[in-house]
Amino acid sequence: MALAVTGTVGIDTVYTPDGDHREHVLGGSCTYFAAAANFYGPVRIVGAVGDDFPDDLRSTFDRFNNIDTAGLETRKGSKTFRWGGKYQENMDHRDTLFTELNVLAEAPPPVPESYRDSTMVFLANTHPAVQLDMLSRFPDRKLAVADTMDLWINTERETLTQLVKQIDGLVLNYDEAEQLTGMKNTVAAARELVSWGPAFVVVKKGEHGCIFAHRDGIAALPAFPAERVIDPTGAGDTFAGGMFGHLCRATDAGALTNLTDFDVLRRALAHGTVMASFTIEDFSLDRLATLTQEDIDRRYDEFARMMHL
Amino acid sequence: MALAVTGTVGIDTVYTPDGDHREHVLGGSCTYFAAAANFYGPVRIVGAVGDDFPDDLRSTFDRFNNIDTAGLETRKGSKTFRWGGKYQENMDHRDTLFTELNVLAEAPPPVPESYRDSTMVFLANTHPAVQLDMLSRFPDRKLAVADTMDLWINTERETLTQLVKQIDGLVLNYDEAEQLTGMKNTVAAARELVSWGPAFVVVKKGEHGCIFAHRDGIAALPAFPAERVIDPTGAGDTFAGGMFGHLCRATDAGALTNLTDFDVLRRALAHGTVMASFTIEDFSLDRLATLTQEDIDRRYDEFARMMHL
């Protein structure tokens, strides 16, 4: 299995409620996803940055052994995507301070020829038309999952609906699931979205875990109980990265044959939960950059034990 | 093991966001707890109603085979506690329309001599001074757990703190845990409360399940994913009822020796989760009154399977 992720690579500025902050740190959906998936095996990224992208941020990718950056285009004369946000006191909501789309507002990056044989594709959040286009670049895909956001639900509902019909799984936040379906109940909204076409839908609820709706059933997973949350940025993308990483590694190990099996995906979501629980422990990729396989295995075991009745 | 619950028996009026409502239905913390625990074995209630308490509500207790109402005092010249509430659209918050304390504002009910040998006691929400007094009426107790609410945290913090030091477990809502400890993070708040004395603390999060902090560890449980919520009233008390019911039954069956063991309590919380998931499916005790052991077993198995990694 070869795993690819398409999405954003950006420069973040993050303020936390206790007054701490970080300026110009590495961010973006692609980045977080890849950093998490990297612990399970090779991951290919497709994204674009401007020629202002600083070397010290670029070198962060090298701290992760398994990230293939052949698909990270550096576009001359363009500027890198920048985002700034401030978390509210409960850490569950954030205010966007600024969004400079820059290179994201231009044509999407090309997908390298070397990526064409990718069998697992995660389309991190971006314009659904770009996601549809990206989808077509991976003719050998066996699993395609997309994330989205409120902006596209408001402005590009038709294209988004088209996308949802062509993918195996959709990942989105609880308020977005409500917005997309008009249903207040998260479980009902998730089930409704499954009826639109995909084999499964994962509704993310931050500190409250996720709801997993699947053709063959429904499940709920708690988040790993975290006593100290420093920066939740990227938690959702590392969640998806851990999920895909596990699916990819388990398939390669011959441990599973059906990527969209209910129980297989449930276990993958637990891996996603564990990876997200590390991300929030520090700013940007700081915690993931120092993470060991032993850390991950220990927390996964703890989570599984916690869940076992 | 003999199980007793002290708390309220009242008359509720409930409005749901879809415009439906029920007037003058059976409610109260004692009532809901007992109705849930009843499916696991005998349960004794301590509460008081006025002489206005209607026969049709009283007869509801007879629909549950295992509820001992010897401790339900009918006080002459007094009026029954009445509560009215309206749920907001997300079903997670409710507005109180009216509260008529009536008999609750008078002296607490006596505990019958026949209840003195009770070994498991749940002190459902009421004035913490009354809870402390009730606690002393059960000299043979092996497990005592209390619930509380924001009102007592605001007005009776010292007495409440005294109570928390004398019980084995505390059950409260997430916003109350925050209010009592001043900590925004639910996990940190739960851990802090354990440091005050009790062996464990359960922080209820409604549709998001619960956080379980224990001297020996921490765990999170999701709620059972419910697609349709009619009336969440009493969910927290049936949660506690299922939890105690399981502990009582399992002890009698010789299946457990340590009532405050981490894994034992985790399993008990799963029973609570299942019982709460039935309560919310209809108004008042309507769903619990038609529930069968088979319904409970099936849903518990489904929940355990959903959790198993």
Residue-wise pLDDT for A52-75, tens only, equals 999 999 999 999 999 999 999 999
Is A227 in contact with B188 (Cβ distance < 8 A)? yes
Is B220 in contact with A219 (Cβ distance < 8 A)? no
Residue of B nearest to A264 (CA): B309
A220 has a pLDDT exceeding 90: yes
Tell me the chain B residues in contact with residue A224 when contact means C-beta distances shorter than 8 Å: 220
pLDDT of residue A90: 78
Its domain, for residue B165, covers 3-307
pLDDT of residue A256: 81
Local structure of residue A46 (DSSP, 8 states): E
Query: Cα distance from A169 to chain B (closest Cα, Å)?
Result: 19
pLDDT of residue B260: 92
Question: Residue A207 corresponds to which amino acid?
Answer: E
Q: Please tell me whether residue A23 adopts helix, strand or coil conformation.
A: strand
User: Between B90 and A120, whose confidence is greater?
Assistant: A120
pLDDT of residue A305: 94
Tell me the chain A residues in contact with residue B217 when contact means C-beta distances shorter than 8 Å: 306
pLDDT of residue A92: 77
* Distance of alpha carbon B44 from alpha carbon B50, whole angstroms: 19
Lowest-confidence segment of A248-257, B52-61, B62-71 by average pLDDT: A248-257
User: Between A127 and A211, whose confidence is greater?
Assistant: A211
Whose CA is closest to A208, among B5, B282, B309, B203? B203
pLDDT of residue A182: 96
Task: Write the DSSP string, A168-224.
Answer: SEEEEEHHHHHHHH--SSHHHHHHHHHTTS-SEEEEE-GGG-EEEEETTEEEEEPPP
B90 has a pLDDT exceeding 90: no
B282 has a pLDDT exceeding 80: yes
A236 has a pLDDT exceeding 80: yes
Q: What are phi and psi for residue B24, nearest 5 degrees?
A: 55, 50
Tell me the chain A residues in contact with residue B184 when contact means C-beta distances shorter than 8 Å: 89-91
pLDDT of residue A57: 97
Helix (H) or strand (E) holding A22: strand A21-27
pLDDT digits (tens, 9 = 90+) for A100-140: 999 999 999 999 999 999 999 999 998 999 999 999 999 99
Query: Cα distance from A30 to chain B (closest Cα, Å)?
Result: 27
Residues 6+ apart with CB under 8 A from A37: A3, A5, A43, A66, A241, A242, A244, A245, A248
pLDDT of residue A186: 96
Whose CA is closest to A272, among A185, A202, A183? A202
* Distance of alpha carbon A27 from alpha carbon A8, whole angstroms: 8
Query: Cα distance from A256 to chain B (closest Cα, Å)?
Result: 15
Residue of B nearest to A206 (CA): B208
pLDDT of residue B256: 81
Q: Which of A211, A228, A306 sits opposite B219 (nearest CB)?
A: A306
Tell me the chain A residues in contact with residue B173 when contact means C-beta distances shorter than 8 Å: none
pLDDT of residue B277: 98
The span from the first CA to the last CA of chain A, in angstroms, equals 33
The span from the first CA to the last CA of chain B, in angstroms, equals 33
Query: Cα distance from A225 to chain B (closest Cα, Å)?
Result: 6
* Distance of alpha carbon B245 from alpha carbon B37, whole angstroms: 4
pLDDT of residue B121: 98
Tell me the chain B residues in contact with residue A308 when contact means C-beta distances shorter than 8 Å: 307-309
Q: What are phi and psi for residue B122, nearest 5 degrees?
A: -110, 120
* Distance of alpha carbon B261 from alpha carbon B62, whole angstroms: 34
pLDDT of residue B257: 81
* Tokens of residue A78, six digits: 């363009």
Is the CB of residue B224 less than 8 Å away from at least one CB of chain A? yes
| Residue percentage of chain A with pLDDT more than 70 | 100
pLDDT of residue B255: 81
* Tokens of residue B206, six digits: 């409604």
pLDDT of residue A254: 87
Mean predicted lDDT score pLDDT of chain B: 96
Average pLDDT over residues A271-299: 97
Average pLDDT over residues B107-130: 95
B92 has a pLDDT exceeding 80: no
Report whether A309 contacts B308 (CB < 8 A). yes
Report whether B118 contacts B4 (CB < 8 A). yes
Mean predicted lDDT score pLDDT of chain A: 96
pLDDT digits (tens, 9 = 90+) for A80-106: 999 999 999 878 789 999 999 999 999
Tell me the chain B residues in contact with residue A220 when contact means C-beta distances shorter than 8 Å: 209, 222-225, 306
| Residue percentage of chain A with pLDDT more than 90 | 94
pLDDT digits (tens, 9 = 90+) for B148-166: 999 999 999 999 999 999 9
Report whether A302 contacts A294 (CB < 8 A). no
pLDDT of residue B219: 97
B254 has a pLDDT exceeding 90: no
Query: Cα distance from B225 to chain A (closest Cα, Å)?
Result: 6
Give the CATH number for residue B23: 3.40.1190.20
- Which pTM value belongs to this model? 0.95
Residue B135 pLDDT grade (very low, low, confident, very high; cuts 50, 70, 90): very high
- Give the range with max mean pLDDT: A251-255, B124-128, B218-222: B218-222
B34 has a pLDDT exceeding 90: yes
B93 has a pLDDT exceeding 90: no
Number of domains chain A is built from:
1
